């Protein structure tokens, strides 16, 4: 396995020119509710939209509760018709061609339900940001990658503020927090947002690449040449976070990474409940089972983590492009 830099590199109705397609589709409905503005050929040509994606979470064999959360969502614009003199029934929802996907995993920290709240609030905040930002994200010529990256960083800091407010309102432990590993895919671009020790992996050309770095005390010691990676993997310090969304510290490092995806790439996001129990060799072997549906691969990974002891909550989201 490798942590080297990876290589860089509803119903649909075909539509006419964008400037006229809404009115034309409505007026040609013949009394039937048209449900989409999406160009079928545009959808078929967008691997981010047609990618096979599946996520699942499990409490494991030891923990009484599950503080992990995940989200998989398509980003698209929609228009809900409430009434019109045009031949379109009230309740018709017009959906434009989906622009991409977001995939998120978060591993909460904090007793008495605090971790579960922190991870849920953080994912909710990021999802709302992506939805609200979508109209300007779509104007690729008007929105640079740098603007998008800055917006995502700001969104994480907003999520941190929300976690703190919720903790105070619910009288929860002020130390509660969460990891966050999020992939925003607008083909062929991938933007990764990372805080904590959940991970993102890329499977390309039969090789597994680490896309994120753990924000732990053990990793800091590895970076400082005070510990080897092998020692870090077995150390209790590998679970001591130095960076998380929430908590008392105002210091928050939001790691961002941009990659260019290729066809046949696989992207895996997971919490430490998976990679602590299933090593890189077995992760890669599971991802090589492209003869199986993505859902079967993810569920097999969760089962493998539990079979190895299931010492923590385990969550995985896998996309096959």
Q: Three-state SS across 234-270?
A: HCHHHHCECCCEECCCCCCCCEEEEEECCCCCEEEEE
Q: What is the third-level CATH fold of 45-320?
A: Phosphatase 2c; domain 1 (3.60.40)
Cite the DSSP H helix spans in the chain.
21-27, 40-44, 47-50, 114-138, 145-169, 217-223, 229-234, 272-275, 280-287, 294-307
Q: What does the pLDDT look like over 249-299, one tens digit per residue?
A: 778 999 999 999 999 999 999 999 999 999 999 999 999 999 999 999 999
Q: What does the pLDDT look like over 194-231, one tens digit per residue?
A: 999 999 999 999 999 999 999 999 999 888 888 888 88
What is the pLDDT at residue 25? 43
**What average pLDDT does this structure show over 238-243?**
88
What is the pLDDT at residue 13? 32
User: Rounded CA gap, 188 and 268, in Å?
Assistant: 16
Percentage of residues of the chain with pLDDT beyond 90? 50
Domain boundaries defined on the chain: 45-320
CB atoms closer than 10 angstroms to residue 287: 21
What is the pLDDT at residue 87? 65
Q: How confident is the model at residue 32 (pLDDT cuts 50, 70, 90)?
A: very low
Q: Please spell the DSSP secondary structure of 62-107, one letter per residue.
A: T-SS--EEEEEEEE--EEE----SSS--TT-EEEPPP-EEEEEEEE
User: Rounded CA gap, 197 and 206, in Å?
Assistant: 24
Its sign, for the CA torsion 22, 26, 27, 29, is positive
**What average pLDDT does this structure show over 1-18?**
42
What is the pLDDT at residue 50? 86
Q: How confident is the model at residue 21 (pLDDT cuts 50, 70, 90)?
A: very low
Mean pLDDT of the chain: 83
- Given a cut of 90, whether residue 31 has pLDDT beyond it is no
What is the pLDDT at residue 7? 52
**Residue 148's closest CA among 209, 210, 100?**
100
Q: How confident is the model at residue 83 (pLDDT cuts 50, 70, 90)?
A: confident
What is the pLDDT at residue 29? 43
**Residue 276's closest CA among 124, 127, 72, 60?**
60
Contact assessment for residue 169 and residue 161, using Cβ atoms and an 8 Å cutoff: no
Q: What does the pLDDT look like over 97-143, one tens digit per residue?
A: 677 899 999 999 876 668 999 999 999 999 988 887 655 455 554 56
- Given a cut of 70, whether residue 11 has pLDDT beyond it is no
User: Rounded CA gap, 83 and 86, in Å?
Assistant: 9
What is the pLDDT at residue 1? 55
């Amino acid at each position: 396995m490798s942590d080297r830099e990876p290589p860089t590199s509803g119903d649909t109705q075909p539509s006419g020119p964008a400037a006229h397609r809404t009115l034309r589709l409505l007026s040609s409905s013949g009394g039937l509710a048209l449900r989409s503005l999406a160009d079928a050929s545009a959808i078929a040509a967008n691997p981010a939209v047609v990618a096979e994606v599946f996520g699942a979470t499990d409490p494991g064999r030891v923990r009484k509760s599950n503080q992990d959360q995940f989200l998989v969502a398509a980003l698209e614009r929609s228009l809900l018709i409430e009434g019109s003199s045009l031949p379109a029934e009230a309740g018709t929802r017009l959906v434009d061609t989906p622009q991409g996907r977001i995939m998120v995993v978060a591993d909460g920290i904090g007793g008495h339900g605090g971790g579960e709240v922190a991870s849920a609030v953080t994912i909710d905040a990021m999802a709302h940001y992506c939805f609200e930002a979508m109209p300007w994200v779509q104007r690729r010529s008007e929105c640079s990658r740098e603007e998008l990256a800055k917006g995502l960083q700001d969104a994480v800091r907003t999520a941190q503020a929300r976690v703190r407010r919720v903790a105070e309102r619910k009288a929860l432990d002020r130390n509660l927090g969460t990891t966050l590993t999020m992939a925003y895919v607008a083909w062929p671009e991938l933007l990764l947002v990372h805080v904590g020790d959940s991970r993102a992996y890329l499977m390309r050309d039969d090789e597994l690449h680490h896309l994120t770095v753990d924000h732990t005390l053990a990793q800091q010691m590895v970076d400082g040449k005070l510990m080897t990676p092998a020692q870090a993997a077995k150390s209790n310090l590998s679970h001591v976070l130095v960076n998380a969304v929430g908590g008392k510290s105002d210091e928050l490092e939001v790691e961002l990474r941009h990659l260019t995806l290729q066809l046949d790439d696989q992207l895996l996001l997971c919490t430490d409940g998976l990679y602590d129990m299933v090593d890189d060799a077995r992760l890669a072997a599971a991802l090589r089972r492209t003869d199986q549906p993505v859902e079967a691969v993810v569920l097999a990974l969760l089962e493998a983590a539990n079979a190895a002891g299931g010492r923590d909550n385990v969550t995985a989201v896998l996309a096959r492009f």
